[in-house]
Structure 1
């Protein structure tokens, strides 16, 4: 049996929030944001849109590319830190939207590394269970719902969006689309986290007043750790797969910060022309970012059979991971 990527899809909301717009909201300016992050604008979901609504559009596009209805899905995995509800899972909400009655469903939380983690979980499940013919992997976030729009250090970074990947076990001989993965984590929650809302610090009038339900980040520590973790996981993965960095058609990093992206590419010896970047248009969409990049590459006819793609991410937890794909 051979495991293939049969469809990709993505969606970003219509509303655009530019750096000029942010200048009117907090003490910041376009030059400061662009030079430090590479971001020029980001997308914001409408008030009535939840994460599952963003995801549903991306899923529909992925299913159409794959040529299958939702009823043929055997499993749905959703990577998100902004689920519609604490429970049920956003995956179960998508199951209802697409009539995927035979699928089992769950959400996976690994912050910005969520899609990478989810792809590897899906690959592992499909390799050990031949009955799983079609698995849907989604990365979707309404990050604007957990951003403090008075905190200039974080509000400039994030945007909303969703992406979906349909994996198929086609029963044919041949190579897999997902060759290998290298995942990692280091329990260090306070560098990048949302302090309240869970069982440790349940929602209260005090937690809301103190703005503890929004993202908090130690920026300098995050930068250093992100570069080191992404580079080391990529190197370990390439060594294990016997693939040279010079063979990579595109490095597809999590779109967190352009300086991080550039540093990772340089340390891996991958030139700028082979590093995919769209952070200028969307900002950091957390678990959705790599999937949005992948869909843009797939639909932009920038890939040919046999191309190697190296996906790598770093997120809160702290989590990180890399996946090697052969198109």
Structure 2
């Protein structure tokens, strides 16, 4: 990987509507893996309508650009991963292009909850063109609305969007990346009669049993390819759509659990945007030093898992709560 490519700005956008969920009163679901949740309360962030995700996408893009005194006219391309678009036309991207009068290519990718990190890898690859100078990578999630109201899985899910700006300018260096396929996992299915997502009861158990190996293999190979050891990494964020991932990740990587960043209690599951929100949360922790190595691991069943190694640098970050009707 060309280490001259950096992340120079990142912004997140959440709906103002915040839900407080009692951990003790949350029903177990297929992805609980038999684990009882911790006590206390956690937060979820919800749009009233899934179509409003375009507003969050737009806000995250505009804010990330403004933080470095840029506009959409400066971009050479935009990569968008949304879980999930309303239809096969990806009309959210069409609306975004029209509202902001975007002239550069917008490339939608469909990679499930790993799509934020895999899109970041694809965004970095755009710089193989020597004339490419700025790329926006957007990861967004509205998948709570794709589960039925009585499905306990909804109690894990939030709506949100995040945007990262990549550049040849100095910033947080994208040191290396590694992607593997995950088609041995059980895919989610769309019930065409109800227009809601469905899944098998075995899907969650399979994730619980096999995710540790996937985490280790992807992160170990990433570090090995970059000439690093797992012990060289200051922090990991492993996609955490539920509470048990932190402990499982620490055991899989054989590291102190304090090295595993988790944001599930504060944000719920933001799908492909989860890793970027975690990166922004990490920026608030004063004990992250310049050039510390950070690994982000994105995971999607029956799609991809991508791990990315970054060399830390202080860049503009912001997370906004937007009032959306």
Does residue 214 of the first structure (1) align with residue 201 of the second (2)? no
Aligned partners of 1:22 and 1:246: how far apart in 2? Answer: 35
Partner of 1:244: 229
Contact 1:37 1:257 in 2 (8 A): no
- Determine which structure has the larger helix proportion and give its number: 1
Contact 1:55 1:162 in 2 (8 A): yes
Aligned partners of 2:70 and 2:209: how far apart in 1? Answer: 43
Aligned partners of 1:284 and 1:181: how far apart in 2? Answer: 23
Aligned partners of 2:15 and 2:120: how far apart in 1? Answer: 24
Q: Give matches, 1:300-311, under 5 Å.
A: 303-311=288-296
Cα distance, 1:231–1:21 mapped onto 2, change above 3 Å? closer
Partner of 2:144: 144
Aligned partners of 2:198 and 2:283: how far apart in 1? Answer: 32
Aligned partners of 1:56 and 1:235: how far apart in 2? Answer: 35
1:278 to 256, 259, 263: 263
Partner of 1:16: 18
In structure 2, runs of 5+ residues without a counterpart are 313-325
Partner of 1:326: 311
Cα distance, 1:11–1:300 mapped onto 2, change above 3 Å? farther
Cα distance, 1:215–1:133 mapped onto 2, change above 3 Å? farther
User: Alpha-carbon deviations, 1:179-199, whole Å to 9, x = none?
Assistant: 21111113347x231324xxx
Secondary structure at the aligned position of 2:70 is classed as coil
Aligned partners of 1:34 and 1:311: how far apart in 2? Answer: 26
Partner of 2:82: 80
1:227 to 212, 229, 237: 212
2:239 to 246, 251, 254: 254
User: Alpha-carbon deviations, 1:139-166, whole Å to 9, x = none?
Assistant: 10111210222122x2222111111100
TM-score (norm 2): 0.84
Q: Larger relative contact order (C-alpha < 8 A, sep ≥ 6)?
A: 2
Secondary structure at the aligned position of 1:76 is classed as strand
Shift of residue 87, structure 1, vs aligned partner = 1.1
Shift of residue 89, structure 1, vs aligned partner = 5.1
Secondary structure at the aligned position of 2:78 is classed as strand
Q: Give matches, 1:23-172, under 5 Å.
A: 36=36, 40-47=42-49, 50-88=52-90, 90-101=92-103, 103-126=104-127, 128-152=128-152, 154-170=153-169
Secondary structure at the aligned position of 2:151 is classed as coil
TM-score (norm 1): 0.83
Aligned partners of 1:111 and 1:94: how far apart in 2? Answer: 20
Aligned length: 304
Aligned partners of 1:160 and 1:180: how far apart in 2? Answer: 29
Aligned partners of 1:301 and 1:167: how far apart in 2? Answer: 24
Q: Give matches, 1:200-211, under 5 Å.
A: 203=192, 207-208=193-194
Give the superposed CA RMSD: 2.8
